[in-house]
Amino acid sequence: MNPLLLIAFVEKDPKLAEPVLLQLLKFWPLTNSQKEVLFLGELEEILELTQPAEFQRVLVPLFRQLARCLTSAHFQVAERSLFLWNNEYIVSLVAQFRHDVLPMLFGPLQENAANHWNPAVHGLTLNVRKMFQELDDQLFEECRQHWEDEQQQQRARDDARQRQWGDVAREATKAAAARGMPNGAVGSGSETYTPLLPPETLSLRRAERGRAGGGGERRAAPHSPLPPSQRRPNIDGE
């Protein structure tokens, strides 16, 4: 459907903002960054016509999608999503529901501020973060503390996972040593586990290789099509 028609419908009946926004989020492009930029522009125009009641009903899926856009590696997508905070009406809606919005955006904003490669996106991120801090400093500090606690817990989980893998590698090495495996046959990382065959299987395979390699009866000489009088003498005694 033509985007202008969608905007016209919402202008005519603001209650249509909710289903229109939900459909826009449902069909959000996942792999085409240029389309994402267009969708963000369309999103801004519809949000300008959205009343607080409709905004509250779409708030969670809306800002989950915006959180993904904020941290996009494609700088135009991240930049266009941050430009939404230049719109005074959208900022007023965000301020009204800041207790729901900021917890969803704090992590992505911190990630951008620390790691985003594009200087423009980095600067816009700092501006938006500062705006939230000035809007409600207490809420901002609560979100910061919660985010730092989550980061610490994640690091603890990662450390525990690494210790568990280390324990698994050590137990595998002990088991290999108990079976008489050479050092290095079992390990971690790129090393692979190479089990030894039972002795009886190795003996059987050696015997089979001996028979196949000439250890049995000698094979007969190939038949010559020449009569015996014209054949060359066999100087090797064969």
Residue 89 structure tokens: 């009406």
Q: What percent of the chain has pLDDT over 70?
A: 78
User: Is there a contact between 40 and 29 (Cβ–Cβ < 8 Å)?
Assistant: no
- Judged on CB neighbours under 10 Å (0-12, 13-18, 19+), 159 is exposed
197 pLDDT exceeds 70?
A: no
- What local confidence, expressed as pLDDT, does residue 224 receive? 54
- What local confidence, expressed as pLDDT, does residue 188 receive? 47
Mean pLDDT of the chain: 84
The alpha carbon of 207 is separated from its chain's Cα centroid by a whole number of angstroms, namely 52
Using one digit for the tens of pLDDT, what is the confidence trace for 199-214?
667 677 777 777 766 5
Q: What value does the mean pLDDT take over residues 86-105?
A: 96
Q: Where are the alpha helices (DSSP H) in 30-136?
A: 33-47, 52-57, 59-70, 75-82, 88-96, 98-115, 119-135
51 pLDDT exceeds 90?
A: yes
Using one digit for the tens of pLDDT, what is the confidence trace for 137-179?
999 999 999 999 998 898 899 999 999 999 899 989 988 888 8
Query: Quick one: CA dihedral 14, 20, 25, 29, positive or negative?
Result: negative
180 pLDDT exceeds 80?
A: no
Neighbours of 183 (CB within 10 A): 9
